[in-house]
Amino acid sequence: MDVNSTTDYNISTPVAVIFIIYMSIATVIGVIGNIMALMVIYHQSSLHNTAGILMANLAVADLLITIFNMPATMVSLISSRWPLGSINCQFSGFMMTFATGVSLFTLAVISIDRCKSIIKPLRYQQHYPFRQYIALISLLWLFPCLMATMPLLGLQSISLGKYQYLDSKAYCWIAVDQHRPNLGYVSLVMLSMTAALAIFTTCYFMIYRSAKKSYALIASLTQLCEINRQKFKSNLKTASTLSVIVGVFMFCWSPLVLIDIVSIFAQEPFYNVVSIAALRLALSNSAYNPIIYGIFNQSFRKGFKNIMIHCCLLMKRKHSNEVKQFYAEARGADIKSEIRRKTTIQYSIHIDNNICNNLRVK
C-alpha cells in the first residue's frame, strides 16, 4: 500500500489521544530508563558478568526501539497515514524487526544462562574470556540484522517479504495476510519466535523445578557452605528478575502475534482498534525493563538511586553557582555604580572649585 494513502478505517480521536499519551510516556521512560540501566551496569562491578552484559545488550536493543520506532508510531496516529516517506517506512520496518529480534534472542540466551547458573552452579562460569563475549554479542546482532534485511532486497517473488505501510496497524511492517510476497518471511519470523518461546518455557520450568528441590537443601547447609548458599540465592534472585522480564515480554507481544496468526489464516488484515493497540503495547515493552530492574534487583535499585542523587547534586551545584554568579555580578555592578557616583561627585567638586576661582579672579 502507498505510504501516503489513507483509509476509511480510523480510530476515534479520544482513543488516538490516549494511545499518543501512552506512547509519549513510554518513550520518555524507555529512553531515560535504558540509559540509566546502561550507566548502572557500567559503574556497578557486581554487574560485570555474563548476566550484566546480556542485560546491557537488551537495554541497547530497547533503546533503539524507543528512539526509532515509538515516535514514528505517534506520527502515524496523528496523521492517520504515513507522512514520513517510503525510505523512512522501510527503515522503520527494518528497525522494528532488527531491534525486536535482538531483544528476543538476547532473552533466549539469558534464559539459558540463568538455567545453567541454577541447575549446574558448580560448573557455571560468571565470567568468560573477552573474545567469547564479543562472539556472543556479535551473533545476537548479526542474525536479526540478516532477517531484517531480507524484505529490503526485493525478493517478494520467493516470498521473502516487503515492508509497507499497513492501515490495519497504522505502521510499517510486513502484510502477513498477503501470502505470495510475504509467507516465507512470516514463516521464518514465526519459527524464530516459537523457538524462543520453547527456550523460555523449558528453561524457566527447569529453574522452577530445581529451585523447589533446592530450598530444603539451602535450609540444611551449614555455615561452612555459607558462600555457596549466598551464591545460589543471588543466582536465584537474578533468575527471578529475568523471568519477570520474559513474562512481561510475552504479555506485551502475545496479542500482536495472535492477531497476526488470525490474519495469516484468514488471508485478510485484522481491522480493529485492538490491532493498533496491540502493536503499541508490543513496542512499549522496551520501557518496562528498566522499571523491572529497579523493582526486583537491588544492585540496579542502588544504582538508580545513586544516579538520581548525583543528578540532584549537579543541579543544586549549578543553581548555587548561578546564584553566586548573580550576586557577584550584582556586587560588581554596585561597586561600579559607586565608583561612577564618586567620580561624578569629585568631577562636580572640581568644576565648582574652578568656577569659584574664576569668580575670585574677576
* Element counts in the chain: helices (H) and strands (E): 9, 2
Supply 185's cell numbers: 518471511
For 273, residues 6+ apart whose C-beta sits below 8 A from its C-beta are: 11, 15
Name the pTM for this structure.
Answer: 0.80
- Which pLDDT band holds residue 8 (cuts at 50, 70, 90)? very low
Query: What integer is the mean pLDDT of 68-94?
Result: 90
Q: State how far the Cα of 33 lies from the Cα of 189, in Å rounded to an integer.
A: 28
Supply 203's cell numbers: 528453561
Map grid coordinates 548573580 to a residue. 326
Query: Which residues, in sequence order, are bridge partners of residue 163?
Result: 174
Query: What integer is the mean pLDDT of 119-135?
Result: 76
Map grid coordinates 483509509 to a residue. 7
- Which pLDDT band holds residue 27 (cuts at 50, 70, 90)? very high
For 128, residues 6+ apart whose C-beta sits below 8 A from its C-beta are: 50
CB 70 within 8 A of CB 152: no
CB 176 within 8 A of CB 260: yes
Query: What integer is the mean pLDDT of 51-74?
Result: 92
Angle at 346 between CA 343 and CA 348, to 5 degrees: 105
Longest dimension (CA), the chain: 120
Burial 319-350 (b: 16+ CB within 10 A, else e): eeeeeeeeeeeeeeeeeeeeeeeeeeeeeeee
- Which pLDDT band holds residue 92 (cuts at 50, 70, 90)? very high
Query: What integer is the mean pLDDT of 320-345?
Result: 58
Highest mean pLDDT, choosing among 116-120, 157-161, 170-174, 176-180:
170-174
- The amino acid that residue 13 corresponds to is T
pLDDT tens for 256-302 read 999 888 888 887 777 678 888 999 999 999 999 999 988 888 778 88
Domains of the chain (ranges, CATH numbers): 13-296 (1.20.1070.10)
pLDDT tens for 169-219 read 888 998 888 877 888 888 899 999 999 999 988 988 888 787 767 655 555
pLDDT at 313: 80
Question: What average pLDDT does the chain have?
Answer: 80
- Which pLDDT band holds residue 35 (cuts at 50, 70, 90)? very high
pLDDT of residue 359 exceeding 50, the answer is no
Provide the CA 36 distance to its chain's centre, in angstroms: 10
- Which pLDDT band holds residue 117 (cuts at 50, 70, 90)? confident
- Which pLDDT band holds residue 119 (cuts at 50, 70, 90)? confident
pLDDT of residue 352 exceeding 80, the answer is no
Residue 214 has φ and ψ, to the nearest 5°, of: -85, -15
Q: State how far the Cα of 326 lies from the Cα of 329, in Å rounded to an integer.
A: 5
Rounded to the nearest 10 degrees, how much is the dihedral formed by the CA atoms of 239, 113, 247, 240? 0
For 320, residues 6+ apart whose C-beta sits below 8 A from its C-beta are: none
Total residue count of the chain as it appears in this document: 362
Q: State how far the Cα of 174 lies from the Cα of 155, in Å rounded to an integer.
A: 13
> CB count, 10 Å around CB of 52?
19
**Distances from the Cα of 91 to the Cαs of 98, 119, 297, 322, 325, in angstroms?**
10, 42, 35, 44, 48
